[in-house]
Structure 1
Amino acid sequence: MPLGTLDRSPPPFFRQGPSALTKLALCSALALLLMVADARFKLMQPARAALALVLHPVQRLLLAPVDAWENAGDYLRGTKRAMAAEDLARRQLAQQAERLSRAEALQVENDRLRKLLALQPSLTVPSIAAEILFEAPDPFSRRVVIDRGAAQGIAPGSPVINEAGVLGQVTRVYPLSSEVTLLTDKEAAIPLLNARTQMRNAAGGRADGAGMELRFLAANADVKVGDLMSTSGLDGVYPPGLPVAKVTVVERRGDSSFAQVQLAPISQPDSARHVLVLQPMDRHVAAKQEAEVANAAQAASAAEAKATARAAKKEERAAKAAEKAAAKASGATP
């Protein structure tokens, strides 16, 4: 029998279904559909929160050896560092004693001037202490994960700061953890105020994630290298006056009507470990207004109760006086 006449196709028993190319196309279409649905309708947010809740103990367990190693190293070097820190603290305390007395006098004077000018008092925003667990594994974004979530009262949009200045903003909240988008992320944006010129502008993260830049700044704008940028407080999220960044590069080109200004964040996320999560300023103001309204209503109800009690006492006194008068009149009548 000639070999060319043999049937080389596999028998039906060994067929494997769709081809590999068909499976790849179906999986790609399904992945694209899920990405679009998650971006538009947030369909995967509950699943993402549940997955984060399940993986949270595993993450803490994996971080336990790292924390133990760091704690052991800190314990071995702690005595010498503690003594040096104590000496430094004593010197700084002696130097800051006079500054503290002057600061208290200036605070009293500032409050008196604010009352005189009918200005609102400075806001004291509530905060929650948190610790950075690890950096998010997404290579296309600059995010970190902290160990506080919805169970501790963290809300989306909350500013995050450390001892140096503003670090970023909470963008995703899970039950026991949260994701913080750093200011160097390309999607981040924050309104700034130049401390030298009092000029307001908006800044965002650079595309390479290496720093920040001022956006849509006129070429003839008064900005210099070394200018300190702080929060303006106009967005209703960040409290005003928090240090953010310093100007490092100013480029003015003749072929462009905008200047290229690069900023270096004051708060370095690579060295940050303990942070404070602030309540958004608009929510704080709303809560403060609600508290003031509740206090006013309580005061009004208390005043009304006092007025009612006084009226009742007056009526009781009048009734007693009428009874005495009636008793005297009946005793005088034969």
Structure 2
Amino acid sequence: MAPQRNRRPGFSRRAQYVLFLGYVAAALGALVGAVLLILSTFDPPAYAVARGALRELTTPVSSGLHWVRRGLASIPEGVGDYFGVVGENQRLRADIERHRGTVARARQLVVENARLRRLLAVRDRATETVAVARLVSASASSTRRYATLNAGHWQNVRSGYPVRGPEGLIGRVVETSPNTARVLLTSDPESVVPVRRTRDGAPAIAAGRGDGLVDIRSASVANLAFRAGDLFVTSGAGGLYPPGIPVARAAADSRDAAQARLLASPDALDFAIVHRPYLPAPTPPPPPQAAAE
């Protein structure tokens, strides 16, 4: 015959001990409650003392539990703040990389602004306009580049005077007659103009090529790097051309020398402005006989 089944399947001795201890705890709780009830009814001062003692015992426990609960509750917020800080850091790094070029351009503008302020502080002694004359003709196909002005020495135009247009430098006067003047254009192979680069002030020389372009060569640093779009203006060196007149713009990236396109095209101009030289010509020394006298 099959054995009789256990009426309490899977009920271990440990479970029995736990159940027994639960009963004991419940009985003790009921007993303590009854004692406190009796004290609160018949002896309120003793009840107050017991209540204070119980409070002293339970306060540290409740404080510790409150601290643990608060720490556990702050974990999700801390994790969210961490990932938020990481995302913000990444966005700030991206902003820094995106604005790096803007900062570099701003620094270049600061340098250029300082140079322009220094130029404004210089007393310009050679920008006096001598004449405004019409460009009668300009050689566009010959290897020698000249232009003709309908103003000569009767209009106080002299050989060596610089000539410019609204966009930039045209050249210099090399020959005059009563009412005409011959102008050597900047693109002529015999033309050499001291210039400087606007973004950093690097000195250079603009030499004509005879084909409408000029070669820009560094005057101070070997193997200087040129970038497409670099603007060159007259530097005032040599005392002929006033400083700050636009001359040419680099056509491509290169080193040591760069081809540049002139900003002023004589073929597209109707009028030109003739200035006096930037610095007066040096006084020639007296002859030896006059010096001895």
The alignment's TM-score, normalised by the length of structure 1, stands at 0.45
Q: Deviations over 1:205-257 (max 9, x none)?
A: 11x423001136666314211111000001101111111111112334xxxxx
How far apart are 1:137 and its partner, in Å?
9.2
How far apart are 1:260 and its partner, in Å?
3.0
Distance 1:131 1:143 in 2: 14
Matches within 5 A, 1:180-329: 180-206=183-209, 208-215=210-217, 220-252=223-255, 259-283=256-280
Distance 2:223 2:143 in 1: 34
Determine what percentage of the aligned residue pairs are the same residue: 27
Moved over 2 A (4+): 119-124, 135-140, 215-220, 249-252, 283-286
Who is 1:126 aligned against?
128
Count residues with an aligned counterpart: 166
On the 8 A contact 1:156/1:170 being kept in 2, the answer is yes
How far apart are 1:124 and its partner, in Å?
5.8
Q: Which has the higher contact order (CA 8 A, sep 6+)?
A: 2
How far apart are 1:269 and its partner, in Å?
1.4
Q: 1:173 to 1:144 in 2, by over 3 A?
A: same
Distance 1:219 1:251 in 2: 13
Distance 1:280 1:270 in 2: 24
Distance 2:148 2:242 in 1: 22
Select which of 166, 170, 173 maps to 2:173. Answer: 170
How far apart are 1:160 and its partner, in Å?
0.5
Distance 1:282 1:181 in 2: 20
Q: 1:136 to 1:176 in 2, by over 3 A?
A: farther
Q: 1:192 to 1:216 in 2, by over 3 A?
A: closer
Distance 2:140 2:211 in 1: 15
Which runs of 5 or more structure 2 residues have no equivalent in the other structure? 1-112, 284-293
On the 8 A contact 2:138/2:267 being kept in 1, the answer is no
Distance 2:282 2:198 in 1: 25
> Residue type matched to 2:133 in 1?
A
Write 1 or 2 for the structure with the bigger share of helix.
1
On the 8 A contact 2:126/2:277 being kept in 1, the answer is no
On the 8 A contact 1:197/1:222 being kept in 2, the answer is no
Which runs of 5 or more structure 1 residues have no equivalent in the other structure? 1-105, 253-258, 287-334
On the 8 A contact 1:250/1:262 being kept in 2, the answer is no
Who is 2:159 aligned against?
156
> Is residue 137 of structure 2 the alignment partner of residue 140 of structure 1?
no
On the 8 A contact 1:129/1:277 being kept in 2, the answer is yes
Distance 2:123 2:238 in 1: 18
Distance 1:203 1:223 in 2: 13
> Residue type matched to 1:215 in 2?
R
> Residue type matched to 1:125 in 2?
T
Tell me how large the CA RMSD over aligned residues is: 2.9
Q: 1:205 to 1:137 in 2, by over 3 A?
A: closer
Distance 1:214 1:177 in 2: 31
> Residue type matched to 2:161 in 1?
S
Who is 1:20 aligned against?
none
Distance 1:181 1:214 in 2: 18
Distance 1:175 1:244 in 2: 29
